[in-house]
Structure 1
Amino acid sequence: MIKPFRLDIPQADLDDLGARLSRTRWPDELPDAEWDYGIPVRRVRELAEHWRTGYDWRRHEAELNRYPQFTTEIDGQNVHFLHVRSADPDALALVLTHGWPGSVVEFLDVIGPLSEQFHLVIPSIPGFGLSGPTRQRGWDVHRVARAWATLMQRLGYHRYGAQGGDWGSAISRALGAVAPDRVVGVHLNYLPTPPPPDGRGEQDLTDPDRERLARIKQFVAQRPGYMVLQATRPQTLAYALTDSPVGQLAWIAEKFTEWTDPRSTVSDDRILTNVMLYWLTGTAGSSARLTRESAFGGPLPCPPPVGVAVFAHDITLPVRPLAERTYSVTHWSEFDRGGHFAALEVPDLFAADVRQFFFDLS
């Protein structure tokens, strides 16, 4: 059963948030720390003060409620999603999947342009935001992909595309493997290309690709602290992030600085709206569990055609010859603007590339 959903946070929850923010216990900081030890206190104070005194949740709640939202139960789990149909009844359906520490908020600025050509389905990953916490072990990217296949079938879509970055990239590729006869193509704005274990073919790469591979090797060898914690101790982490709004804010806001193009103009309000979906739903721990549950033994297979949009300031940049060993890459774009949150940072470039990939497939 699919049920309409409207976001309406009780005022008591907002009052509790304001009280907690006013009682924040701030940590010390070395006078010359800057970003060497993590996100600086001055930046978190700035965001927290705006959150407490200037940010208007009701305005952003209303923005989310402009779009039709629904919930349904799949595999014992609540799934929340936006469903925005195109004026063209024959438009292709497209499922857009966010990542961590993102949410459906990532796609708000591309709903308008993309809904001109696509029926859009924008789910909240189980364990994230408005889908609420997961209740069982085993919610990895493959299980999420199976849930997406069920959702699209339940909505009556028998032919559709998939798009994603971060976890959305893995889920979209897994969806292509789960429903290869229904997924016409998979567009990605983040694609890990791990180095081949035997080093085969590295000598044939161009110098720019060798530079990308060197960065990937460094990332794999020195996994970031957030990833290690979420993959090993998500429950321990959850106590701090669920109890302290500033803790949750710092955990997420750090990534919105480190992983974006320095020239990007993602507003503080957008960041705070994204943080709110974690805070209000208490999904800090359950969203982190996805990292623990999803252990990869190698590249995820994906039979349908794949399109890749590379944004210059992403965490790592994919190496095309390595990607083509696993995927049928029919579209590859390189942009000198944008980073990990491309739909938020450069919605014009993002939407145009998605449209072009699926147009070329038709």
Structure 2
Amino acid sequence: MTDQETPAYPMERAVKCPFDPPPQLKSLQEEGPITRVRLEDGQTPWLVTGYDDQRTVLSDPRVSSDTASPGYPNASVAKAYEGDGEAPQEERPKIGFILMDDPEHARLRRMVTAPFAIKRSEARRPAIQKIVDDAIDAMLAGPNPTDLVDAFALPVPSLVISELLGVPYADHDFFQENSKVIVNLDVAPEERMTGMRNLTVYLDDLVGQKMKAPGDDLLSGLVGRVGAGEITRAEAAQIGVLLLIAGHETTANMIALGTLALFENPDQLALLRDSDDPVVVAKAVEELLRYLHITHNGRRRAVLEDMEVGGQVMRAGEGVILPGDIGNRDPRVFPDPDRLDLTRDARRHVAFGFGVHQCLGQSLARVELQVVYSTLYKRIPTLALAGDLKELPFKHNAAVYGVYELPVTW
């Protein structure tokens, strides 16, 4: 293709369809599973739109998550995670292990796998239920209408991850504001790097405090590994930054966006609200994860060795982008994919990725969403959008898709 023929990426959503992937992505998927796209910096990585091909690439060791690999599609947020490019490599703040390859990725990830295991996440269900109930109580006691994001969607996962990590929730304004800066694609790179430094210094201070007085939390567990010489203090702080950001940003956006999608599909909302069956709730969560897919700018990789995908050879040193939002709308896997159907078996979605980099916190996120979606609409059965869908501020300019505000009434 010529530069004029190569479609630009990322692509814009249709104004009237804020829950759907961009129409151009759908057209590209219909034309074939893989094509070239053009990034703002002039790079022309491969775009993989087919569900099966995405899973193939994500599970292949011949692709790299390391932003230093030749050909890596340099997303601005990823560069912010790298920190100050002028500083020595060892002094740059990083985002834990998600932008690393094995064996280093696996070494660090294993150190925090246990707290996110299915049984451990399930054991947190009663505590999460109390957090959700308390947040609803506070919302009902406050103004009506209110902003569901500030009153409920953001506080709930922030409290959950704070308690798991051992981060004082009293500092939530600080870490939430810095997280917003880091994931905002419209913010200058220098500002995002400052946000990363702020959180890195904050988590490093917390690690230092827990070295003197460890508790029963994830950061204290990492401190034990620092003492054993398994990781450095800086690595412990970097892992803390990753888990703190990912632990509240993603779930908060799913809570708000999922609620809005249910408002727009009242028959599906009624199905969820009127059921006491945990199986129905669990299926609803998986379908909402498939239907919405908030990581909307594609997982990015660099090709390390020549490999064939979808009938096309990708060469070593080329970049590849895998937009899960369109992968989750592949009609060959999910019939009638643009319809929200809470009875659908959507467990095979790629909302949490696939392969070795599959989301570490997915079990905890599932429990949180199950508790939220099974509680909020029962406790407030008249909950409704207070305003016009067309006037809502969607996060088109953020690394995590959602709404900045969601005015609700009851």
Q: Would you say same fold, with TM above 0.5?
A: no
TM-score (norm 2): 0.21
More strand by proportion, 1 or 2? 1
TM-score (norm 1): 0.23
Determine which structure has more spread, i.e. the larger CA radius of gyration.
2
